Structures are given as C-alpha cells and as structure tokens.
Amino acid sequence: MRLGLAQSRRAARELIESGRVRVNGRRGRKGEMVAPGDAVEIAPVAETPAIVPAADAGLAVLYEDSDLLIIAKPAPMACYPLRPGETGTVMNAVAARFPETAEAGPKPVEGGLIHRLDNGTSGALMIARNRGAHAMLRAALKNGAIARRYHALVAGTIERPLRIDAPIAHHAKNPRRMVAVHGASPARSAAGAYRSNPRIALTAITPFRRIGGFTLVEAAPATGVRHQIRVHLASAGFPIAGDELYGGPQALWLVPGRFWLHLAELELTAPGGAFVRVSAPYPADLESALSGAA
C-alpha cells in the first residue's frame, strides 16, 4: 500500500522539482532524507499560468496539422518549465505561437508535450494541440506505434549492430544519473548499486559511419526510460561525445551541457489518420562537431 501525498514516484519527483515540497520550512531536494519529526509540507499551486508564452526563439516547425506539431528542438534547451512562471523553455516558445498547446495535456507545466528530450539533446519533438490528440499520441508512444530514430556520435568503434536490453534504474546516490542493470538481482540493489524497481529498456544500435576515433550510429529505442540511449551506449562501452555525466569524452566543439545526440526521424500515424514521416536536419553545432571529430 502506498502512503503519502504523491500517487507515484514520478509524481513525487515532479512535486520536488516544482519547488512545492518544504521540509522544516526549507525547499526539499531530491534524495534528501527525512527523519521522524520532520515537517513535510506541499505548497499550494501558484496562480501564475504554468506555461508563460515567451519569445518564439526561432523554433523551426517540421510538421503541422490541426492536432499535432513537430518542432526542431534546439540544445541545450529544456523542454518545459519546472515551475510556474519559468520561461526560456521550448514550451514557452511554442505557446507564444500556438497558445492552445499550453493546455493540451493533463500536466500544466508540460502542456501538450508527447515526449521529452534531454536538455543536451536536439531534434524532432512532438507536441499535441488538444487533449484528444495528446491522449492518442501518448498511447501510441507507449504501445510502440511511434518509431524514433536518434543519431549519436559515440567514442570507439562499433562494427556491427547491437541490441541492448539491460533494464535501467535510478542511481543509488546520484539523483542526476541512471544505471543499466545487467543481471538484475535483489542482492545488487541491496549492495547500493541502484535504487529498486529497474524498468525494462531495449535499444537497437546500428553503426553507419566512422569518424576519427568515433562512430556515428543510429539508436532506435523500443521503450522510453529516462536517459535510455545515453545509459545503454555508455554501459556497452561507447559513451556519447560530450556526455560527461555518463563518461563521454569532452567535446570542445560543443557548448557545456550539449552532447552529440539528435532525434533525427519520426514515423507515426497522426490522430487524423495521416501517415507522417519527419526528418530533423542536424543543427549547425552538430555538423561542426563532425568536422572537429574527424
């Protein structure tokens, strides 16, 4: 039986990230331990709109119909605000041009986002324009009916396709990291390698170009676990260039917080029934990085 004010671990994390959790009057932090007698409070939702329309930031629209937008997300830029009133994210910019997207999903700070891309990742990002489309597309994503093909520049040489099916769990001590769990067992969890309940994760890797000491690969995730591609590639010994959180080599050709990971192609059936295939061109920084890596 679950006790507490959040319906799930993810809901609890979002409450903490929004700044609404207070421990003994101070803002709570992820991973913070509470002791008997500590006062834990949830602040009420602010009246400020969760997604404040902001400057467009020149976001490129890759696809548009009455239900769905696919935009080219730049990096390093967050997908959505972590708290009401925050600006500078993709959803702030999208809401300035398409106001209906701010209320197209059940979570106020996420609006119509169908999926997320890490701040350091660029590429095709799906955003619903109404509640019905959001529900349909979220279900399609969960059921594996939306194909996502990422491109990544990884350290080392990959000569043949890989299938990585290691479950992924939260790191036991670092709340920013996830870990691949090979041969998961209660003993490993008890030893402190990861927190409980690893999630099933499957990624297909296909190499298609050698560039100096790197390999440019396509990564096709069959599941959607946080940091999945980054964790799987690193666990296989091929960390992404610039992804220092997971042991990737420093990439001086990219700004801090950016790594060479890009959602290059989406294939799906739109809520209206049309088959959609969208390609997102490499942004200039990734193109330059390919020259720098050669």
Whole-model pTM? 0.81
Task: Give the Cα separation of 156 and 177 in Å (integer).
Answer: 22
Residue percentage of the chain with pLDDT more than 70:
85
| Arithmetic mean of pLDDT over the chain | 87
Task: Give the Cα separation of 121 and 258 in Å (integer).
Answer: 7
Task: Decide if 30 is inside a domain.
Answer: yes
Number of domains in the chain: 1
With tokens 């992804």, the residue in question is 243
Task: Give the Cα separation of 132 and 123 in Å (integer).
Answer: 24
Task: Decide if 32 is inside a domain.
Answer: yes
Q: Assign 171 to helix, strand or coil.
A: strand
Q: Which domain holds residue 17?
A: 9-42
Return the sign of the alpha-carbon dihedral for residues 223, 224, 226, 229.
Answer: positive
- What pLDDT band is residue 187 in, cutting at 50, 70 and 90? very low
Task: Decide if 13 is inside a domain.
Answer: yes
The catalytic residues are 118
Task: Decide if 55 is inside a domain.
Answer: no
**Would residue 257 be called left, alpha or beta, if left means φ above 0 and alpha means ψ between -120 and 50 degrees?**
left
- What pLDDT band is residue 131 in, cutting at 50, 70 and 90? very high
